[in-house]
Amino acid sequence: MKRALDSTEEVEITVTGRKSGRKIALPVWFVREGGRLLLLPVRGSESNWYKNVIHTPSMSISAAGTKVTLTPKPSSDRNKVKEVADKFRAKYGAGEVKKYYSNLDTCVEVALP
């Protein structure tokens, strides 16, 4: 999985809909730091996929043909969110993060196998 992550700019996450109970897949940006994956919801705590993770704390991550199911760890700690946002700015560019990310109030960490 780590090699697959190193070869792509985005991953596909699959979460369970909190109302529908259906699997919902969508592409997201990420930062890999050692044995963890850092995610930043585009609309922060208002993002549907984030609300779904809070309701059902499980997530599948697919990258370059590799798929794993993991337990996400959401955080609304300001310092942690700022740290993750800074890592996104370093990877994708400050202008891109500013353009797409409207609410930086939460982040998600996933421990990789």
How many structural domains is the chain composed of? 1
pLDDT computed for residue 79 by the predictor:
97
CATH number at residue 95: 2.30.110.10
Which two three-digit tokens encode residue 79? 């310092």
10 Å CB burial of residue 38 (0-12, 13-18, 19+) is: buried
Give 69-82 pLDDT, tens digit per residue.
999 999 999 999 99
Contacts of 62 (CB under 8 A, 6+ apart): 11, 12, 13, 14, 25
The pTM (predicted TM-score) of the whole model is 0.93
Q: Domain containing 73: what range? A: 2-111
User: In the chain, what is the straight-line distance between the N-terminal and C-terminal CA atoms, in Å?
Assistant: 8
| C-alpha torsion angle, residues 86, 60, 62, 35 (rounded to 10) | 50
